Amino acid sequence: MAMSGSMRTEIGALVVATSIIQLANGFFGTFISLRVAIEDFAAPGLVLSSYFGGFTLGALFCGRIIQRVGHIRAYAAFAGLVAAATPVMPLLAGSLAWVILRALVGFGCAGIFVTTESWLNAKASPAERGRVFSIYMVGTFLALGLGQLLIAGADVRAAGPFSAVVSLFAVALVMVATARAEPPRVSTTAALPYGMLLRAAPIAVAGAVLSGLVSGAFYALVPAWMQDQGTARATIALFMLMAVLGGFAFQIPVGRISDRFDRRLVLALLGLGLAVAATVMVLSPRALPTLLPEAVFLGGFMSTLYPVCVAHAHDRMPADRVVAVSGQLILVSGIGSVLGPLIGETLMTHYEIDGVLFFMALAALLLAVMAGLAGLMTKAPQHLRAPFRFLTPQAGPLAHDPLEGAPEPVPAH
- State whether the Cα torsion 112-114-117-121 is positive or negative: negative
Alpha carbon of 103 to those of 49, 91, 176, 211: distances in Å? 9, 17, 23, 20
A 10 A CB-CB count for 46 gives 19
- Per-residue model confidence as pLDDT tens for the chain (413 residues): 455 566 777 788 888 998 999 999 999 999 999 999 999 888 899 999 999 999 999 888 888 888 888 888 888 999 999 999 999 999 998 999 999 999 999 999 988 988 887 777 777 676 776 677 778 888 888 999 999 999 998 999 999 999 999 999 999 999 888 876 555 454 555 567 778 888 888 999 999 999 999 999 999 999 999 999 888 999 999 999 999 999 999 988 998 898 888 899 999 999 999 999 999 999 998 888 899 999 999 999 999 999 888 888 888 877 667 667 777 888 888 899 999 999 999 999 899 999 999 999 999 999 999 999 988 887 766 655 556 666 655 544 444 444 444 344 333 33
Strands (E) in 30-154, as ranges, are none
Distance of CA 90 to the CA centre of its chain: 25
Please count the other Cβ atoms lying within 10 Å of the Cβ belonging to residue 79.
26
Amino acid at 350: H
Q: How far apart are CA 356 and CA 350, in angstroms?
A: 10
The pLDDT value given to residue 5: 62
Q: How far apart are CA 250 and CA 141, in angstroms?
A: 12
Q: How far apart are CA 342 and CA 43, in angstroms?
A: 9
Residue 291 CA to residue 44 CA, distance in Å, equals 26
Q: Which domains does the chain have, with CATH numbers?
A: 5-177 (1.20.1250.20), 196-398 (1.20.1250.20)
The residue type found at 285 is P
Nearest to 214 by CA among 237, 247, 236: 247
The pTM of the whole model exceeds 0.85: yes
Q: Tell me if residue 408 falls in helix, strand or coil.
A: coil
25 vs 135: CA distance, rounded Å: 19
